Structure 1
Amino acid sequence: MTEREFLELWNKNRQQIVVSQMAPTFLLIVTVGLITLGLAGGPLFLSLATLGILLASGILGALVQYASATEAMAVAADLALVKSPSAASRQVVKFAPWLNVVRFVTPAIFTLIFLLLASILLMG
């Protein structure tokens, strides 16, 4: 592959990471808003359904983020082997280790928020 093709693949993965965060973030915001307004909770089956939706969306989002970040790291490794790389390629290679935040920290934060919301919905 050419340097340009690697950079295009890097950008595709970066875009997938951003898009994969939209649905889970939106659902978490809506759930917090409904709890704050006193509209969440209610019957146990409704709370369980809400948690199921949050969990499914979060798991799928985390899988896409993990896969995209891992692939982007591989692209960066390939870019590191390019002779006479552009400034953009050098920057991608320098930034690549930060993708571990996407792979590990973001899912951990989602898990903590999910557990907090679960405790509120099931006990509150």
Structure 2
Amino acid sequence: MNSGEKFVAWQRARLHLIVSQIAPTLLLISTVALLQWGLADTDWAVRIATLGILLASGILGALVQFQSATEAQHIAQDLSGGEYDRTVSGSSHWLWVPKFLTPAIFAVIYVALVIALLF
């Protein structure tokens, strides 16, 4: 694989990071909005199902983010010192955010929603 193909793979990995955050974010926003209109007052089963959907989406989103960030890190290492070094190196230092910080933030929000829906 030449450096141009690796750079395309780098861009693809970054796109996967962005796309993998859309569904969990929309679900969290929707849930918080629904809490304002009485979701916490619905049947127990609906609240448990809501938490299950959020958990499944969050886990899958976190896995995709972690995998895409790891792949992007490996590609960035391969591209270091080459013609795309300046372009990739500036962003590659921030890949710890989608790998670790974003899932941690999701976990905190999820715990807050568990409290809001169950207690």
Common fold by TM > 0.5: yes
Which of 76, 98, 101 in structure 2 is aligned with 1:102?
Answer: 98
- For normalisation by structure 2, the TM-score amounts to 0.94
| Closer/same/farther in 2, CA of residues 91 and 27 from structure 1, 3 Å limit | same
Q: Distance in 2 between matches of 1:78 and 1:93?
A: 11
Number of the residue aligned with 2:70: 70
Segments of 5+ residues of structure 1 without an aligned counterpart are none
Q: Percent identity?
A: 50
Q: Distance in 1 between matches of 2:81 and 2:115?
A: 49
Structure 1 position 34, deviation (Å): 0.3
Task: Tell me by how many angstroms 1:113 deviates.
Answer: 0.3
Unaligned runs of at least 5 residues, structure 2: none
Return the TM-score normalized by structure 1.
Answer: 0.91
4+ aligned runs moved over 3 Å, structure 1: none
Alpha-carbon offset, residue 94 of structure 1: 2.9
RMSD: 1.2
How far the C-alpha of 1:6 sits from its partner, in A, is 1.0
CA shift at 1:20, angstroms? 0.6
Deviations 1:69-116 (A, max 9, x none): 00000000000143xx24xx3220232121000100000000000000
